[in-house]
């Protein structure tokens, strides 16, 4: 069973602070690592994704850091805002045609307090 | 585009009853997926389809069936509902070309169906 382990399960951050969510994977064949954001009552939506040929990808306040040797990747949310309060899922897959399956982490419920 | 739509939004079933969860996408995506989401467990893949007439099992297929007769529709069938099937069900779709990289295509999720089996 391919696994992606995500931590923490829940996180409370003050407005303006940095939110950090971590994921670790086992399968060295994984080479695509997306993060999905889910608001209550909604389906998940792609937030940002990275391939292992780079160690960092930044989109606005959201950054993925990737450590291939440690088989770990993390999501950093800078200047966290109450609107960022949501559940975040990391995921992983192999970028080969014929493999269409994402393996998801167990999710992190992020709460940003004023 | 409406994207991925799911019906119903909520449903309560009695043990042993059957039902079909409907999923439709209007983005002409070739791949479609069914997931279940349980608290603290993330998203588990039930079944997926790479095109009309082609389906395959995911991680947790027992107790479910699917069919894909058209590109747009991918219904999920529960034949004998059990309390263990109480969950939130999400349908998703993506487009993958023949040049590879299918595993990296963005999946677009529907709003979900909350199912309770009593």
- Cβ atoms B33, B92 nearer than 8 A: yes
The percentage of residues in chain A with a pLDDT greater than 90, rounded to a whole number, is 81
A69: left (phi over 0), alpha (psi -120 to 50) or beta: alpha
Q: Which pLDDT tens digit goes with each residue over B22-45? A: 999 999 999 999 999 998 888 999
Euclidean distance between the first and the last CA atom of chain A, given in angstroms as a whole number? 40
Q: Is the peptide bond before B92 cis (omega within 30 degrees of 0)?
A: no
Q: Cβ of A88 under 8 Å from any chain B Cβ?
A: no
Q: Which of A100, A101, A103, A104 to mutate to test the interface with B (most CBs of B within 10 A)?
A: A100
pLDDT band at A11 (very low <50, low <70, confident <90, very high): very high
Q: B102 vs A99: CB contact, 8 Å cut-off?
A: yes
Q: A100 vs B102: CB contact, 8 Å cut-off?
A: yes
Task: From chain A, pick out residues whose CB is under 8 angstroms from the CB of B44.
Answer: 104
Q: B42 vs A89: CB contact, 8 Å cut-off?
A: yes
Task: From chain B, pick out residues whose CB is under 8 angstroms from the CB of A89.
Answer: 42-43
Domains belonging to chain B, first-starting first, are 4-98+105-112 (2.60.40.10)
State the pLDDT at residue B76. Answer: 98
- Cβ atoms B75, B67 nearer than 8 A: yes
- Cβ atoms A92, A5 nearer than 8 A: no
**Distance of alpha carbon A82 from alpha carbon A42, whole angstroms:** 17
Task: From chain B, pick out residues whose CB is under 8 angstroms from the CB of A45.
Answer: 108-109
CA geometry: angle at B109 spanning A87 and A40, to 5°? 35
State the pLDDT at residue A9. Answer: 96
Give me the CATH number covering residue A27: 2.60.40.10
State the pLDDT at residue B95. Answer: 86
* pLDDT > 90? residue A79: yes
Give the residue from chain A lying closest to B5, CA to CA: A43
State the pLDDT at residue A94. Answer: 83
Total count of domains within chain A: 1
Q: Which pLDDT tens digit goes with each residue over B72-111? A: 999 999 999 999 999 999 999 998 765 545 556 789 999 9
Among residues 6-25 of chain A, which lie with CB inside 8 Å of chain B? 6, 9
Task: From chain B, pick out residues whose CB is under 8 angstroms from the CB of A98.
Answer: 102
- Cβ atoms B3, B27 nearer than 8 A: yes
Residues A28-51 have a mean pLDDT of: 93
Residue B75: which of B13, B2, B17, B5 has the closest Cα? Answer: B5
Q: Cβ of A68 under 8 Å from any chain B Cβ?
A: no
State the pLDDT at residue B77. Answer: 98
Any residues with CB less than 8 A from the CB of A56 and at least 6 apart, and which?
A: A50, A63, A64, A65, A66
Which domain range does residue A89 map to?
Answer: 4-113
**Distance of alpha carbon B111 from alpha carbon B109, whole angstroms:** 7
**Distance of alpha carbon A48 from alpha carbon B57, whole angstroms:** 27
Q: A45 vs B109: CB contact, 8 Å cut-off?
A: yes
State the pLDDT at residue A22. Answer: 98
Q: Nearest CA to CA, how far is A31 from chain B (Å)?
A: 9
């Amino acid at each position: 069973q391919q696994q992606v382990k995500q931590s923490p399960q829940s996180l409370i951050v003050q407005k303006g602070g940095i939110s950090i969510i971590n994921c670790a994977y086992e399968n060295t064949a994984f080479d695509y690592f997306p993060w999905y954001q889910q608001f209550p009552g909604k389906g998940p939506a792609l937030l940002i994704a990275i391939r292992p040929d780079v160690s960092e990808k930044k989109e606005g306040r959201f950054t993925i850091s990737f450590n291939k040797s440690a088989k770990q990747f993390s999501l950093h949310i800078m200047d966290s805002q109450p609107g960022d309060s949501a559940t975040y899922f990391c995921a992983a897959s192999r970028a080969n045609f014929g493999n269409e399956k994402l393996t998801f982490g167990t999710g992190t419920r992020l709460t940003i307090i004023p | 585009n409406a994207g991925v739509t799911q019906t119903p939004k909520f449903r309560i079933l009695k043990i042993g009853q059957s039902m079909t969860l409907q999923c439709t996408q209007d983005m002409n995506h070739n791949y479609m997926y069914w997931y279940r989401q349980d608290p603290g467990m993330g998203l588990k893949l039930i079944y997926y389809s790479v095109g009309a007439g082609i389906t395959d099992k995911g991680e947790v297929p027992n107790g479910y069936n699917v069919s894909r007769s058209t590109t747009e529709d991918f219904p999920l069938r529960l034949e004998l509902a059990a309390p263990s099937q109480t969950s939130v069900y999400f349908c998703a779709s993506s487009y993958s070309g023949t040049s590879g990289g299918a595993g990296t295509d963005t999946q677009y999720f529907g709003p979900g169906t909350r199912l309770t089996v009593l």
